[in-house]
Amino acid sequence: MNIVVDDLSGSQIAGFLHEHVQEMRSITPLESKHALDLDALRAPEVTFWSVMDGDSIVGCGAVKRLDAVHAELKSMRTAPQRKRSGIASLLLEHVLTEAKRMGFARLSLETGSAEFFLPARRLYERFGFTYCEPFADYKPDPNSVFMTRPL
C-alpha cells in the first residue's frame, strides 16, 4: 500500500468521496453532517491523502488548517470491504506525522456519536485523542463528539 497526496482530480477519488458523503447522510441528520464535499476538500487550507493498493483507492484522509498551530482531521474513510484491515491505523499514523511536520501543534476532529462510529472513536482513542469541547465553528450537537490531541 502507498499513501499519496491527492489533488482530487480523478474520477475514482470523486466516486470514493461521493460514497462517503452518501453514507454519512444515511446515518447522520443533515444538520449534523460535517463531511466535506469534493469542492470543499480542494480548498488551499486542506491537504488530502489517498491510500492506494495497486490502482485502487482503499482509504483517504485530510488535514484542514484551522490556524497556524491547530488543524482538523477530515474525511477519514476506509473502503467498506477493507474495514478493520489496518488501513485506518496506517493512514492515521501518516497523517499525525505529516501534520506535525507541517508545523501544527494540535490535531482535532469531529465524529459521530452513534454506534456506527464506535470503531472510529476507539481508533482515535488508541492514537491518543481525548474528548473535548467543540472547536472552530462547531456547536454542541448530540450527534457529534469532538476529540483532540497534541502533536
pLDDT for res 33: 74
- Residue 21 belongs to what domain range? 2-150
Question: For residue 140, what is its C-alpha cell?
Answer: 454542541
CB-based contacts of 41, cutoff 8 Å, min separation 6: 8, 17, 48, 62, 74, 75
- Cα separation, 82 vs 88, in Å, equals 10
pLDDT for res 28: 81
pLDDT for res 23: 80
CB neighbours of residue 21 within 10 Å: 16
CB-based contacts of 79, cutoff 8 Å, min separation 6: 16, 56, 57, 58, 59, 87
pLDDT for res 16: 92
pLDDT for res 84: 86
| Chain centre to alpha carbon of residue 1 | 18
Sheet of 130-132: strands edge to edge? Answer: 2-5, 46-53, 56-65, 70-78, 106-112, 144-150, 130-132
pLDDT for res 137: 94
pLDDT for res 88: 96
**Helix, strand, or coil here: 82?**
helix
CATH number at residue 22: 3.40.630.30
CA distances from 22 to 1, 9, 137, 139 (A): 26, 19, 23, 23
Name residues of the chain where pLDDT drops below 50. Answer: none
pLDDT tens digits, one per residue of 38-77? 899 999 999 999 999 999 999 999 999 999 999 999 999 9
* Number of separate domains in the chain: 1
